[in-house]
Structure 1
Amino acid sequence: MSSGQKTVTVFLTLIGGLLLVILGLYESWPLWAWAAAAVSLLTAPVLAIRFADGREEPFPAEFMPDLPVPPVERRELRISDVALPSAADDYDFLFSATVRWCPVSAPAGSPPVNASGLAVDALLARARAVTALRSPTRSSLVQHELNGVLGTMQEDSSGRVQAMALEVSLALSDRDQERLAALASVRKDEAVWEHERKFEQSRRTYLGEDVLRDTGSAVVWWLHRNDDRVDRTVKDIGLLAQLTSAANNQDVDEKFRHLVERPPEEGPGIPPIGTPAPPTGPGGAPGTAPGEAAPPTSPAGAGLGDAFAQLVHAAGLGPEDPVVSLLAGQVAGTLRYLDGDPAAEIHTRFGSSPGRPSPHVNGAGPAGPPPPAESVPF
């Protein structure tokens, strides 16, 4: 009799004894009934044990050896940083996940397989079909998509395992992330530049082909821009005519030419003081003496002598006027204290010379420093 059978026998004996006690108390049994119930209660389990011991075991213990418990197959595997293609060439996603699988019953005679390898290959094929169509700049969005696509147990192509993925992670390498950020910045700058270029081109087209097409269009546009101020627009017609002709590479129209302001004409050059006066012909007309060539004229320079000559001419003084020598002496005396004697040219060209009287002011001596030994004639 096994230990399980003995436990059941003891349990039934206790239950039967409790039932007999309850029944005896309820029926108020006499003493002899209690004794009979006790004897029957003790005899029943003994007979049951002896009957069970007399039966033979269907499977003797020598035919049931203790076999070792087979090891439990591990059905999870972590994979990390597996490169998967993206929609952009040379930019791969780095895929990480926990692969979980379970074997599928195989028909008799099927060869043994590496279930974990089949499961990982099936998961990577499913993930690659998704990432190959996605942009590498959307790695976080594609990661959540893969969590949904790979979150269902599906059989592999051989039909030997079912696999799914947990804790999916998808990212790009740091260098690729920097390159994509730089390319995105350049594309944005290029788009802004292209927009600005088209805007500028549109403005030039508007001004050249519409506003400045002719003077009338320019006048109407200018009248609108000046809040319908007719007086100001009328004053600017000449300027608008010039602008229109310049924009179209044409001369100003004849009917607007009288409105165009002309620059003042330059008069003849004023010869500097000290240049011999050209001889005059009959009637005071400029000319040359008979048999003499016209004297060359010296162009106006930028020195102090030329500037002083312009001052004398503007004051209306003649070349032989004694006041010129007086002024030259005073200016040279004033400037002689500067480094380099910048008034030397004035004193040399306009100082007193033989044949030119030295002026006196109120009986005083000649004003200014004495002339040099040699003096250039005026």
Structure 2
Amino acid sequence: MTTRPWPDTSPGLFGSVAERWRKRRERRYLAAADRRAASAAAEATAPAVPEPEHHRKEYQTALPSSMSFVDFQASFTVVWTLDGRADYRHAIPQSTAVNAIVQRAAAITRQANPVHHKPLREQLAFELGKRLQVENTNVWARAEDVHITVEEADLDLVRRHVELNRRRELRQAERELERAELRYLRDNVFNSVGNALLWWLHHNDNQIERIGEVAPQLTQLVRLVSGQEQVHWADNLLAALEEASPGGLGEAQRLGLAGYLGQVLGEYGGPGAKDEFETRAKDWGVGRGGPREGE
């Protein structure tokens, strides 16, 4: 039987110290394991870093512009490297790098006007200077010493083309303005005699005393603009005679009516009224020349 004053189930002084030391060591071990796991995860998710650049290729090529008949002349140095951590490999990495730079440059130049080649050079140098990984390859590429020019003869051609386009657009704008004015006159001025008179007064210092002088001319103009052709009074008279005879007029009836109307106009009509009527009546098949052939 033990002679200690505390129960056997209770730890002694040395037991308590050992237990605390064991727990502290366990916590340190777990913390170190967590740090190692976090470091491994960070390395696994970190982007692949290319090897130091050590491949260079000077290259010259034509690049498209916004005008199909003119190209830019470009030169640059392609700087490329291989990424040993990439999952993809390319058999000809140099061609891959050069092609990637050319495609990146063409995407920019095909939207540019050749006359703006100087600021375009700065834009190309900025964009191509970015080192980017070529899609689905282990190649990283960028460009330096970027230069771009346009042949002087091509620049002259472009300037002529721009000037022609400017003139064409100006003429088109003038035609549109003219058509708009004509539509306005047709739809809002010469659609009635009243509107035409108001328009004339507005543009002629409200000279009301001249209304009687210009009214017949404006009336005729309204008829022409609205598509109402002015019909000769003799034609109206002959048409009215035809309309008044639903069964139609025969040759003898036309001849008799024309002769009778000619006598009336000769007696009561104004100067030349009879001659005008007989001239128009020829198309009706009667008159001084008699019936038309074929009737």
TM-score class, shorter: 0.3 to 0.5
> Which of 1 and 2 has greater Rg?
1
Higher helix share: 2
Higher relative contact order (CA 8 A, sep 6+): 2
